[in-house]
Amino acid sequence: MAFDSGGGYVAASSLQDLAETSLPIFNIERVQLQFSLSSDFVAAQVANNVLVLALSTGRILRIDLDSPADIDDIDLPKKSTEIGVIRRMFLDPSASHLIITTALHDNYYLHTQSRHPKALSRLKGVPIESISWNPSHPTASTREILIGAADGNIYETYIEPSTEFYRREEKYLKVVHRVHPSDGPVAGLWADLVPGRPDARRVLVATPAKLFHFAGKVGRYGSDGSSVYSKLFESEAPTVQEISRAQLAPSMLAVNPDPSDGQFAERSDSERVFAWLSSQGVLHGKLLASTDLSGLGNKTFSELKLLPRTALPASQSAMRSARGGQDPVKSMVLTQWHILQLVEGRIIATNRLDETVVLNQSILEEGQNAIGLVADLTKNTFWLFTEQEIFEIVVNDESRDVWKIMLKQQQFEAASRYAKTSFQKDAVATASGDYLVGKGQFQEAALVYGRSTKPFEQVALTFIDNDEQDALRKYLLTKLQHLKKTSTMQRMMVAAWLIEIYMSKLNTLDDTITTKAEISEGMNAKDSQGQLQVVRKEFQDFATKYKSDLDKKTTYEVISSHGREEELLFFATLVNDYNYVLAYWIQRERWLEALNILKKQTDAEVYYKYSTVLMANVPVELVEIMMRQTNLSTQKLIPAFLNYNKITRVPLNQNQAVRYLLFDINQRQSTSAAVHNTLISIYASHPSRDESALLTYLEAQSYAHEQNYDADFALRLCIQHARVQSCVHIYSAMQQFAQAVDLALKHDEVELAAVVADRPADEDPALRKKLWLKVARKVIGQSQGIKAAISFLKRCELLRIEDLIPFFPDFVVIDDFKEEICAALEEYSRAIDGLKAEMDDAADTAKHIKSDIRELEHRYAIVEPGERCYVCRLPLLVRQFFVFPCQHAFHADCLGKKVIEQAGVAKSKRIKELQVEVGRGTSTGAKRERAVKELDALIASACVLCSDSAVKQIDEPFVLQSDNREEWAL
C-alpha cells in the first residue's frame, strides 16, 4: 500500500494472489513510503489510525493515516549520543499519549497536541518494558496508568501535560508491586474495568515465566499523589499461571482489538480475548466478566488453551537445522479469531478455535530484521515494521469459517449465531437436529429441524414413528413460522394439521382427567389438568397468530369433529364470526357471554340484528355497550326501542330507550327527526301523568332555538295522551299563542295561560293584550272575588279598568272596584300633566335654538398667515378655503375631494354635478347662488377629521396600498 497526498492510502503491491475465487483471510501488503528515510526505523506504534515511527537519529514521525500527507517531524530534546537511541515507544489506544524510552533509560512524554516531548524526570533510569493504559481512555491526561519495568517493578503514575517549565509531567510515581527477580521483567500489563463494579479493576501481569491475575477493589481516583492500584495489589492474592523455565524466549501479553464497522456485531458476548506468549507457546483464553471477583482468576485460567510452539509450521532452515528445533517467536498479536505470530521472517496466522494455520508466509528477506508486529486495538488493523519497510496485514471477512469450526465442535448454538448465509444456517440446523434426535431429545430437535431445509416428510415421519406428537407439534409450529408468506398452500396445510394435533391433544388430556388414569411416566390427572391449560393457551396463541393461514370452513369441521365447543367458539370469535357466536349464546340465553362478544364487535349490522332481543332481556348492559360505539345509526335501532318500551313498565328515569335517545341527542348532537319523534312518543305514551320529562325536553329544544321534531306529530300525540302543558308549549313554539291560551284555559290552567299570554311581550303588544283579555274573561268568570281577580290581572300593564268592565257581571256594584277606577283616573291626570310639561320644555328649546341661529351670523375664526391645509399641507390663503370651529382648515377643492372619498354614491354624484355647474359658470344669478350654497352645505357640513364621518373611517389603514411604504418602514 502507498500513502498518497489526497488523504488515505491505496494499493500498490500485494504479496497474496488476489485472483483466487475466494479471497484469503489475510493479505500482507507493503506500504509505499512517500518520504525519504535519513536513517532506519528503531520503533513503531499504531493506534486510532495514527502511526508513530522512531528513527535511529532520534527523530519521531507522527502520521495520521486518514491524511497521510501531513507528517509531524518531532525531535527529542537531546541528541541520541547523549540519551541513547530510542528503544521502545508506547502509544495509548486513543493515540493521545506517547511514552518514549531510550537505550539509556531516559523516558519522554509527548501529547498529541504537542510537538515537544517532555522528559519524565521521576521515571529517569526506569527501563520500561510494558504499560497498561487507563481503561477509560482519557485524552487530556493519562489518568492513573501502570508501568512495568525490566527490574520487575510495577509503577503507578499520573501524567498530565503542562506548559509550566518547572512543573513535572508526572503528578506522582509509586511502586505498587514487585515480581520476584527470578520471574524476569514485566513483559506485559493489562488493566480493565469490572462490569457492574465501578470500584474494582482487573489487572494481568505477564513475565517470561508467570502470568498473574489480580481482581479486587481499588482506591479512590487521585491525581494528588494518592495511588489507585496500591489497595488492589496489597489486599488481593493473585491467581498465577506458571510454565517451565527451561528455555528463555520472548514474552509478551496481547488482547484482541475492538470490533470495527459492525464486522463482528453478531458476537453475543462482550468478553475480550487475551494471549500470553511464553517459551512453551501461546496461552490464550477469555477475560471473563463477572461481578463475583473471588473466583474470577481461577475461572479465567481454568479455560486457557495452549497453542504450543511445536504446532507452528517450521521453516525450511529450521527443518534443515541439525538441532531440529523451532524458530523463535519474535512477536505476537491477536485479531478477533486468530493469533498472528512473527517467527523469524514469517507471519503465521493460527485460528485460536481449532489451531489451524491459515497463513504461513515469508515476509522478510535474508538479513532483514523486524522491529515489531503491532495491532491497532481501536481500528482493528495490524502492522509489521522492519528497519526500512512497513507492511499492513489486511483482514478479509475473518469470521467466515467460524461457524464450521463451531459445528465440528458440536457447539450448535454458537455455530448458528456465526452462520451468515442461508446455506450455512441450514447446514447447522440440520446437523444439530440429527444430533439431538440421536440423543433422544426430540423436543429440542423439533425446534432446530423447523429452521432447516431437511425434507418435511422425513422429519414428520421421524416424530410419528417415535410417537412424539408433542415434538411434531413443535416442529410444525417452527416450520410454519419460517415458511414464506407467499407459500399459501403449504402454510394452510401445515396450519390445518396443527389444528388436528391440538384437538387430539386436548381430547387426550380431557379423557385422562375424566378417567383419572395415569398416562406416561407417572403423570396423573392433576398434572394433566395443568398441562390442559398450557396446551389450550398454546392453541389460542397459535390460532391468534396464524388465523390468516387457517381456512375457516376446514377449521370449523376439524374442531367440530372433535367436539371441542370452547375452542370452536374461540376460533369463531377470533375470525370475527360474531353472528355465529352471538347466535350460539343467545339461543342458550347466556346473556352475559353474548354481551362479552358484542363488546368486541364493531360491525353495526350485528347490533341491528340482535338489538331487539337483547333490549328485551339486558337493556342496561346493551345500552352501555352501544353508547361506546360510534358507527351505529340510531334510526335503525328505533324498532328495538319501541318494542322495549312496549313491554317494559319501568319509570321514565330508568327507561333505557330514553337513556340512549337522550345520549344520541345531547352527546352526539343528533338532529334526526325520527330520533326526536321516537323520544316524544315514549314520553307522551308513558302511563305516568307526570309530563315534566317531556316538557323539559321541549323547553331544551326551544332554548337551543331548535325544533328537530315534527311539531304536528308531537302535537297530535300530546293531544291524544292529554299532555296539556306540552301541547301549550308546542303551540307557543309554533307561534300559535291564541290556540295555546285557549287550550290552557279550556283545562283551567289559568297560570299557564297567563305565562303564554306574556310570550309576545314587546314584539306584538296588541296580541299580548288580546291574549290577556282572554285570560281576564276566564279569571273574572271563575273568580270568587272581584278584588282577587283584579289583583291577578294587574300582572299585565296593558290592561285598563275600562277593558275589564265588560267582563264583570251586571249585578256587580261599583264599590267593588271603586279604588281601581280612582287609580285609573289619577293615572290619566298625571299623564296629562306630564304632556303639558313636555310641551313647555319644547317651546323653551325652540326659543334657544332661534337665539343660537342669530348668534351664528356673528361667529368668526382667525387664520394665521402660515396656516396650512390639513389635506395637501400647502399654504391655506393661496385659494378659497373653509375653516371649522374645531380650527381645522382646508382648501375648498381639497375638502371636496376628501368628502367625495368618504361620502356615499348619491352624495358623491351630487357634489360632482354641483362642482361642474359652479366651475363652468353655466348658471348665473340666483340659480348659481343656490348651487354654491348647496355645494357648501354638502362639503362643509362637518369637519372630515373630527366629525362623525371621520369616526366611521376608524378601520381605514394608516398606510394605503398606493403610499410609499418605504417611508413608513421602521
pLDDT in tens, 311-336: 888 765 555 454 445 668 889 999 99
pLDDT number for residue 758? 63
- Report d(CA 932, CA 330) in Å as an integer: 124
- Reported as type and span, the H/E element at residue 205 is strand 197-206
- Residue 32 gets which letter from DSSP? B
- Report d(CA 78, CA 507) in Å as an integer: 93
**893, 899, 905, 910: CA torsion to nearest 10:** -50
pLDDT number for residue 519? 46
Angle at 881 between CA 880 and CA 887, to 5 degrees: 160
- Mean pLDDT within 830-841: 82
- Report d(CA 180, CA 182) in Å as an integer: 5
Pairing relation of β-strands 144-149 and 153-159? antiparallel
Which CA distances in Å does 570 have to 247, 492, 537, 593?
A: 77, 19, 11, 12
Contact between 372 and 358 (Cβ < 8 Å): no
- Report d(CA 471, CA 464) in Å as an integer: 9
Give every CB contact of residue 59 below 8 A, 6+ residues apart in sequence.
38, 39, 73, 74, 75
pLDDT number for residue 95? 93
| pLDDT greater than 50 at residue 293 | yes
SS3 928: helix
442-456, 462-476, 545-559, 636-650: range with lowest mean pLDDT: 442-456
Contact between 202 and 232 (Cβ < 8 Å): no
Rg, the chain, Cα only: 54
Q: Which grid coordinates are listed for 67?
A: 491524511
Neighbours of 826 (CB within 10 A): 10
- Report d(CA 327, CA 439) in Å as an integer: 46
pLDDT number for residue 262? 45
- Report d(CA 512, CA 90) in Å as an integer: 74
- Mean pLDDT within 837-857: 81
pLDDT number for residue 101? 95
More confident residue, 748 or 125: 125
At position 500, the amino acid (one-letter code) is E
Indicate the pLDDT class of residue 127, thresholds 50, 70 and 90. very high
DSSP for 706-765, please give it. Answer: ---S-HHHHHHHHHHTT-HHHHHHHHHHTT-HHHHHHHHHHTT-HHHHHHHHTSSTTT-H
> Would you say the C-alpha torsion 702, 705, 708, 714 has a positive or negative sign?
positive
For the chain, the first-to-last Cα distance in angstroms comes to 65
pLDDT number for residue 4? 39
Region for 812 from its dihedrals, namely left if φ exceeds 0, alpha if ψ lies in -120 to 50, beta otherwise: beta
List residues bridging with 242 in a β-sheet. Answer: 210
Share of the chain above pLDDT 90, in %: 23
Helices and strands (H, E) in the chain, number of each type? 34, 32
- Report d(CA 64, CA 44) in Å as an integer: 14
| pLDDT greater than 80 at residue 876 | yes
SS3 771: helix
| pLDDT greater than 80 at residue 174 | yes
pLDDT number for residue 100? 95
pLDDT digits (tens, 9 = 90+) for 61-71: 999 988 888 88
Indicate the pLDDT class of residue 476, thresholds 50, 70 and 90. confident
- Report d(CA 678, CA 661) in Å as an integer: 8
Contact between 330 and 342 (Cβ < 8 Å): yes
pLDDT digits (tens, 9 = 90+) for 742-800: 776 777 676 677 666 666 665 666 666 666 666 666 666 565 445 555 655 555 555 55
Contact between 436 and 301 (Cβ < 8 Å): no
pLDDT number for residue 533? 87
| pLDDT greater than 50 at residue 281 | yes
| pLDDT greater than 50 at residue 596 | yes
Which letter, b or e, does each residue of 553-586 get, where b requires 16 or more Cβ atoms within 10 Å of its Cβ?
A: eebbebbeebebeebbbbbbbebeebebbbebbb
- Report d(CA 874, CA 864) in Å as an integer: 13
pLDDT digits (tens, 9 = 90+) for 9-57: 333 333 333 333 367 888 888 888 877 777 889 999 999 999 999 998 8
pLDDT number for residue 24? 86
- Report d(CA 770, CA 764) in Å as an integer: 10
Q: Closest by alpha carbon to 354, among 291, 314, 310, 409?
A: 409
List residues bridging with 283 in a β-sheet. Answer: 276, 306
- Residue 633 gets which letter from DSSP? -
Give every CB contact of residue 743 below 8 A, 6+ residues apart in sequence.
724, 727, 728, 731
DSSP for 469-528, please give it. Answer: HHHHHHHHHHHHHHS-TT-HHHHHHHHHHHHHHHHHHHHHHHHHHHHT---STT--HHHH
Tell me which long-range contacts 790-798 makes (C-beta under 8 A, separation of at least 24). Answer: 790/817, 790/820, 792/754, 795/754, 795/758, 796/757, 796/758, 796/768, 796/769, 796/772, 798/765, 798/768, 798/769, 798/772
pLDDT digits (tens, 9 = 90+) for 362-375: 988 887 888 989 99
Q: For cell 354481551, what's the residue?
A: 595
At position 745, the amino acid (one-letter code) is L
pTM of the full structure: 0.55
Count CA within 13 A, CB hemisphere, residue 269.
11
Tell me which long-range contacts 55-63 makes (C-beta under 8 A, separation of at least 24). Answer: 55/86, 56/80, 56/85, 56/86, 58/83, 58/85, 58/86, 60/86, 60/89, 60/100, 60/110, 60/117, 61/35, 62/98, 63/3
Indicate the pLDDT class of residue 684, thresholds 50, 70 and 90. confident
- Average pLDDT of the chain is 81
- Report d(CA 71, CA 61) in Å as an integer: 7
pLDDT number for residue 435? 72
Q: Which grid coordinates are listed for 469?
A: 406428537
pLDDT number for residue 830? 76
